[in-house]
Amino acid sequence: DAGVIQSPRHEVTEMGQEVTLRCKPISGHDYLFWYRQTMMRGLELLIYFNNNVPIDDSGMPEDRFSAKMPNASFSTLKIQPSEPRDSAVYFCASSLTGTKYTQYFGPGTRLTVL
Amino acid sequence: GEDVEQSLFLSVREGDSSVINCTYTDSSSTYLYWYKQEPGAGLQLLTYIFSNMDMKQDQRLTVLLNKKDKHLSLRIADTQTGDSAIYFCAEKTGGYQKVTFGTGTKLQVIP
């Protein structure tokens, strides 16, 4: 299996621009999670989906952030407009019901907003 | 509520044992985990323990769970430079598949 795939791996953008991060979960997994990791705040859960339906988005920082999962094999996290404080590593993870809640993480997208 | 705390940094010499500690607050935790994050990579499951167990051993890794004190530890025997990474404690509570991660402990192994 290819594991969780994220793209791009690195993104550098200017303040005010729209940023779209992409994730392909492991085939057959029914849960998908988006996390953000920074030195200051550590690993934060932003939102998670079950069978493509958002279950909990209470971690999404503000309205500038939105996430979608149009089908079981694809999800996006969009930031519009981006700000320098959004600079972080964004991880996508997936899991499968009945497997002891083990989450499989992608390699992350390092976002830098100038 | 759910809160998982760890010390931020641990430094050990190669060949020594490392012990990484974690405290959690939710007594209803069913599973507790240790994840490892190597530089530039995502988190990877290292091991887990079910809440009705006190100890689990897997090669160089020993997990100890003290439910009374809500304390979890990870012992790495004969620590190697390849063990240098950030180690996250995590707990599973409540419904769905959500897992709460700790702050992470950066392990530095000195040759």
pLDDT of residue B6: 94
Q: Which of B97, B98, B99, B106 to mutate to test the interface with A (most CBs of A within 10 A)?
A: B97
Rg of chain A in Å (alpha carbons): 13
Q: Please tell me which of the candidates B41, B99, B103 has its beta carbon nearest to residue A101.
A: B99
A54-85 residue pLDDT tens: 999 999 988 999 999 999 999 999 999 999 99
Distance CA A68, CA B63 (A): 37
Task: Inform me whether the pLDDT recorded for B2 exceeds 80.
Answer: no
Q: Confidence band (pLDDT; 50, 70, 90) for B78?
A: very high
pLDDT of res. A1: 64
Q: Do A100 and B42 touch (CB under 8 A)?
A: no
For the residues B22-28, what does the mean pLDDT come to? Answer: 87
B44 chain-A contacts, CB cut-off 8 A: 105
**Quick one: how far is CA A1 from the chain centroid?**
20
Interface test with B, best of A102, A104, A109 (most B CBs within 10 A): A102
For residue A5, list chain B residues with Cβ-Cβ distance below 8 A: none
Distance from CA of B43 to the nearest CA of A (A): 6
- The pair of structure tokens assigned to A51 is 């069978």
Q: Omega of the bond prior to A8 within 30 degrees of 0, cis?
A: yes
pLDDT (0 to 100) of residue A20: 98
> Does an H or E element contain A100, and which?
none
SS (H, E, C) A28-62: CCCEEEEEEEECCCEEEEEEEEECCEEEECCCCCC
The percentage of chain B sitting over the pLDDT mark of 90, rounded to a whole number, equals 77
| Residues in contact with A80: Cβ distance below 8 Å, sequence separation at least 6, in sequence order | A18, A19, A64, A66
pLDDT surpassing 60 at residue B1? no
* DSSP-assigned beta bridge partners for residue B58: B61
Range scoring the smallest mean pLDDT among A42-46, A79-83, B17-21, B26-30:
B26-30
A-B contacts at Cβ under 8 angstroms: 51
3-state secondary structure of A85: helix
